[in-house]
């Protein structure tokens, strides 16, 4: 497997640089969204390069979003909740 996955970070600002752009792959009725890591980093708790989160604003499939502060998924699992994300900018919407 690739060893490019980032390690857990206690500082969410360090986990993902805020200028990186993520694609929204799926959105569930409860508002949780699945985002794809643009750098194809393996996220340990999802065992892949995409991961679920609960963004602080409604998202749509196909959007590209930026300005994400991540509580690392491993930390979220430890607290039995989905990682919370702040999506500051919707860069582009499909259609």
Partner 1 sequence: MGFRYLDRLASEENIRSFLELADLAAGAGSSAENVFALSHRLRDSIPMQLCRKRLGRDPEAQALIDARRLCGPYDAAALQALPKGSLGHTYATILGTLGYDINFFPEPAFYNNLESDADYINYRVYATHDLHHILTGFSLDNFGELGVISVSVAQFSHPGLVFTDLMALLLQWLRTDTPMDELESPEEQARTAAYAFGRISQGLEMGLAARPLFPVLWEEQMHRDLDAVRADFGIKPVTEGPWSWHANPALQAALAA
In 3D, which of 70, 65, 66 has the Cα closest to residue 51? 70
Nearer to partner 1, 37 or 69 (CB): 37
Give least dist CB 14 to partner 1, A.
23
Report d(CA 26, CA 36) in Å as an integer.
10
What backbone phi and psi angles, to 5 degrees, belong to 60? -125, 150
What is the contact surface with partner 1 in residues (CB under 8 A)?
1-2, 23, 25-26, 34, 36, 38, 40, 42, 46-51
Give least dist CB 59 to partner 1, A.
15
């Amino acid at each position: 497997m690739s060893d490019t996955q980032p390690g857990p970070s206690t500082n969410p600002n360090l986990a993902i640089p805020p200028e990186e752009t993520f694609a929204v792959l799926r959105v569930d009725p409860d508002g949780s969204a699945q985002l794809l890591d643009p750098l194809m980093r393996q996220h340990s708790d999802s065992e892949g390069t995409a991961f679920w989160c609960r963004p602080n604003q409604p998202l749509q499939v196909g959007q590209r979003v930026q300005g994400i502060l991540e509580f690392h998924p491993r930390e979220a699992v430890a607290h039995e909740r989905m990682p919370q994300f702040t999506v500051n900018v919707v860069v582009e919407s499909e259609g």
